[in-house]
């Protein structure tokens, strides 16, 4: 059984990943946010899967080596929330 996901994130694939969608005013805001997440991902050497359509960014976090969600995914999700202006 998976533990509770960070605010706004939900488990999918039977607990193998956590996902969250962020929406912004426009493409520029969405892409700026995505760029900040990319720099953060490089810094912590943990990289989200993502898709983006105009003002929307969808993230999926999983640890490939572990084949599921680990502490690294939970920590990155919390940092992404913080970048989005959440505590
Ligand atoms: C060697 C390096 O730590 C690994 O390849 C990292 C890189 N980024 C990663 N990102 C994610 N999301 N999952 C991983 O398992 C992962 N592994």
Tens digits of pLDDT across the chain (87 residues): 567 899 999 999 999 999 999 999 999 999 999 999 999 999 999 999 999 999 999 999 999 999 999 999 999 999 999 999 997
Q: List CB contacts of 66: < 8 A, sequence separation 6 or more.
A: none
Measured in Å, residue 47 CA sits from the centre of ligand 1 at: 6
Atom of ligand 1 nearest to the CA of 62: 12
Measured at the CA of 62, the angle between CA 11 and CA 76, to 5 degrees, comes to: 90
- Under 8 Å between Cβ of 21 and 80: no
- Under 8 Å between Cβ of 1 and 7: no
Res 59: pLDDT? 98
Res 30: pLDDT? 98
Mutation choice for ligand 1 from 18, 42, 49, 63, CB with most ligand atoms inside 8 A: 63
Q: Residue with the nearest Cα to atom 1 of ligand 1?
A: 45
Res 18: pLDDT? 98
Q: Residue with the nearest Cα to atom 2 of ligand 1?
A: 45
pTM here?
A: 0.94
């Amino acid at each position: 059984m998976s533990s509770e996901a960070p605010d706004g994130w939900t488990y999918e694939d039977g607990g193998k990943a956590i996902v969250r969608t962020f929406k912004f005013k426009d493409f520029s805001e969405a892409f700026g946010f995505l760029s900040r997440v990319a720099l953060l991902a490089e810094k912590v050497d943990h990289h989200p899967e993502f898709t983006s359509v105009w003002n929307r960014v969808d993230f999926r976090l999983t640890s490939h080596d572990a084949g599921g969600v680990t502490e690294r995914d939970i920590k990155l999700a919390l940092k992404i929330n913080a970048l989005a202006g959440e505590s």
